[in-house]
A and B are shown apart, each in its own frame.
Chain A
């Protein structure tokens, strides 16, 4: 698979993962770009990988996890509400925005795991990306799904 093909195939999925992690379109777009720069730098290793998807997602997830290094001191939660809401692009409807908001209230590892679940990724692959056992991943997914559903219920979104 050439670099162009990798980019076309994975850019949307990686964007959704980054969006789940940051809940900010501009940051997510930057993170997609950073991910593919890392992919490009490691292309020679890519050829030897048996599971390309896992390999690319590992880079993307790790890039998300070290996002704290690039965060500005000015946290989004500190912003006045009106400004914070303006960050959202018109591209997302209210339900999608609400979903991302709920995900952003989870802790970092939960945000990653649920985004991968929502991408319909098998639990074994999630386990291999994160470095946990499948059993552990299954337990965590169950808890996170519950948390997320509760948030929706509390806000009467169902």
Chain B
């Protein structure tokens, strides 16, 4: 191992590339922050807007069957929960790994984080689809009773769309997300095992 000193000398001899000065770094930190704030504002606004629109629709509609407000409430819960979970809850529930931990602890935390994320993305999405589908079906019931032809057409169209989402689009989206997260987990696991081994 006498030669390691030579390797050390090579390491020490390297010239340095040009780095952005502190002002440029400041700029990118600022733009990073602005993006985050914009994303939060956008999330909050879309949440408020959805609630306002749905409330207006329900309050201005003279319904005869309790299934109509029940359906609306279910859709409202699904949409609100989806926006809330995506924008706020995930950050709290998932509690991303602490970047200042030592690497072994960090990688284990990262794997836990990805597992929790996988759970929410797959199971959460399934619950969202169920709430939305049942809600829509309940909401449309009143139209079915008003005019049987329009009602059946609306029912058929909606149920085919739901079936398409449920049997094709949903599983496909879930599979893709799962694959991506599984790949990340297994690659992170390989590195974590390197650190845990002997």
> What is the interface of chain A, defined by CB distance below 8 A to chain B?
3-4, 7-8, 11-12, 15-16, 25, 29, 32-33, 36-38, 40, 42, 45, 55, 58-59, 61-63, 65-66, 68-69, 89, 91-93, 95-96, 99, 107-110, 112, 118, 120, 128-132, 136, 139, 145-146, 148-149, 152-153, 158
| B59 proximal to A (CB < 8 A) | no
- Identify 18 new A-B residue pairs, CB closer than 8 A, beyond the known A3-B22, A63-B99, A129-B103: A7-B25, A16-B14, A25-B17, A29-B19, A37-B28, A37-B29, A37-B32, A58-B106, A59-B99, A65-B103, A65-B107, A68-B188, A91-B17, A99-B7, A130-B104, A131-B104, A149-B1, A149-B4
Partner of B194, one of A3, A16, A109, A152: A109
Give every chain B residue within 8 A of A108 (Cβ-Cβ). Answer: 190-191, 194
| B60 proximal to A (CB < 8 A) | no
A33 & B4 in contact (Cβ 8 Å cutoff) = no
A131 & B103 in contact (Cβ 8 Å cutoff) = yes
Partner of B20, one of A25, A33, A131: A33
Partner of A152, one of B7, B14, B25, B188: B7
How far does the alpha carbon of A146 sit from the alpha carbon of B16 in the complex, in Å?
A: 27
B102 & A45 in contact (Cβ 8 Å cutoff) = no
A45 & B100 in contact (Cβ 8 Å cutoff) = yes
> What is the interface of chain B, defined by CB distance below 8 A to chain A?
1, 3-4, 6-8, 10-11, 13-17, 19-20, 22, 25, 28-29, 32, 97, 99-107, 110, 184, 187-188, 190-191, 194-195, 198
Give every chain B residue within 8 A of A149 (Cβ-Cβ). Answer: 1, 3-4, 7
B17 & A62 in contact (Cβ 8 Å cutoff) = no
A96 & B16 in contact (Cβ 8 Å cutoff) = no
Interface SS, A side: helix
A96 & B10 in contact (Cβ 8 Å cutoff) = yes
B195 & A38 in contact (Cβ 8 Å cutoff) = no
Shortest Cβ gap from B80 to chain A (Å): 29
Nearest-neighbor residue (CB-CB) of A112 within chain B:
B103
How far does the alpha carbon of A33 sit from the alpha carbon of B19 in the complex, in Å?
A: 9
